[in-house]
Structure 1
């Protein structure tokens, strides 16, 4: 097993009465909130799923946690410090890897990009990039350009680059949504393996109930927007790896599906 020791210890994320509107307030009218009155604590090292239909504000909540956008009301804090801007302890993994990779750089050069910005010496960059390229299963592909890789391999590069910078928290916005079913299942298994080896906090956005149950320790179900809220929290007390034919998994699928059928 590859020895990967995270340098940072994950702290809990506390969210209290969080609201977000993208519109200026109108006199005597309730603001048009995308999300409203979100209350949630995500534990350090937890694999947490944000589950809900398209347009319910999942990505908005993720971007608030990332610090990419500011809140309208309420509180969102990492440990005891309020989140007001992006920070190196939080890193986003996007659905489209092509948008985040530099096409003129090799796999290794992409993974080392952030390390180079930190002015790490070449030998140290090489050691770190080799470790994470191997961790995500891309050993032997370090000198390839993104155009030579499949969609799943590009997502592995994006993940390796994020991990190489050693964030405590991975924010993942439907990262496997653009992949075919077989590649998606492979990447789900790989992500669980990597999470268990690195003990990062993972906050993962999806609208796929099966994916939520296969991956998460807890699932937060969001209501249809606007003014979306987290209406239910489900613990998923199942061992990994999980099997969709397991009666316990099927029971959870039915329970969570009921939220969207009501």
Structure 2
């Protein structure tokens, strides 16, 4: 009897490299020899300066970009197939359909999958509640704030039940107070759903507010993850606490 291979519970990246040039002699590597393992259910942060390749790496994990060299396996499968991933973009304006209501935007992917109407409506209601959008079902994107739009984008992604949630600086365009609220909401949703979250940011405070582990990327080109820190702080996190400031100083030292 043939043994059944146990499915990996990790995202495994080894020696991953990416160049956008087809000429090997002139190739400039955006990413070079990236090594990374992320466990299922983990909240992982990719932190680094603008232009270091964070978004490129995230897009490779999403399957939007092919690797040049190296290994990229997601739960034991090639990144170009298999595992269901959801992508939350920095700008909700470019992700949402302006002619659809909040409810219709969240429902869109389920309709494409031909989920039966009654089941679909229940799921949409559930994720609208989860994302804190109650009472906004019939509003259009133009009628709600930037923070609310990001909630709609998040609810739509979650309604498709992805195993992995990929987030590319999703709160970068929000004001400070709205950003803090959305960070707290994201932690609540992550704890309730147990999704694997990979979150890109260049904001140290945001990284420490959210992540269980933080991978620090070097300045490009040929960027890689140079250091990884486990953030042993309970949620919700207090930015004025001595322990938070201790981690902040350690991470900040990489960018001085």
1:257 and 2:252 aligned? yes
8 Å contact kept, 2:96–2:141: yes
1:99 and 2:97 aligned? no
User: After superposition, what is the alpha-carbon deviation per residue over 1:2-42, rounded to whole angstroms, capped at 9, x for unaligned?
Assistant: xxxxxxx9931000000000012244x6x310010000100
User: After superposition, what is the alpha-carbon deviation per residue over 1:86-132, rounded to whole angstroms, capped at 9, x for unaligned?
Assistant: x6611100010010100010101000000000111111111000000
Name the SS for the 2:33 alignment partner: strand
1:184 and 2:182 aligned? no
1-side partners of 2:8 and 2:231: how far apart?
A: 21
Matches within 5 A, 1:22-61: 22-27=20-25, 31-61=27-57
2-side partners of 1:147 and 1:47: how far apart?
A: 31
TM-score, normalisation: structure 2 = 0.95
In structure 1, what is the equivalent of residue 164 of structure 2? 169
2-side partners of 1:26 and 1:173: how far apart?
A: 29
Of residues 204, 209, 215, the one that matches 2:210 is 215
1:225 and 2:223 aligned? no
1:64 and 2:27 aligned? no
User: Aligned pair count?
Assistant: 250
In structure 1, what is the equivalent of residue 3 of structure 2? none
State the shift of 1:80 in Å: 1.5
2-side partners of 1:248 and 1:38: how far apart?
A: 29
Of residues 105, 109, 112, the one that matches 1:110 is 105
Of residues 127, 133, 137, the one that matches 1:132 is 127
Matches within 5 A, 1:231-242: 231-242=226-237
- Shift of the 142–10 alpha-carbon distance from structure 1 to 2, 3 Å rule, reads farther
- Shift of the 42–241 alpha-carbon distance from structure 1 to 2, 3 Å rule, reads same
8 Å contact kept, 1:10–1:45: no
1:16 and 2:11 aligned? no
In structure 1, what is the equivalent of residue 150 of structure 2? 155
Unaligned runs of 5+ in 2: 1-6
TM-score, normalisation: structure 1 = 0.93
8 Å contact kept, 2:74–2:83: no
Unaligned runs of 5+ in 1: 1-8
8 Å contact kept, 1:10–1:44: no
**Structural RMSD (CA):** 1.3
8 Å contact kept, 1:50–1:220: yes
| TM superposition outliers: structure 1 runs of 4+ over 2 Å | none
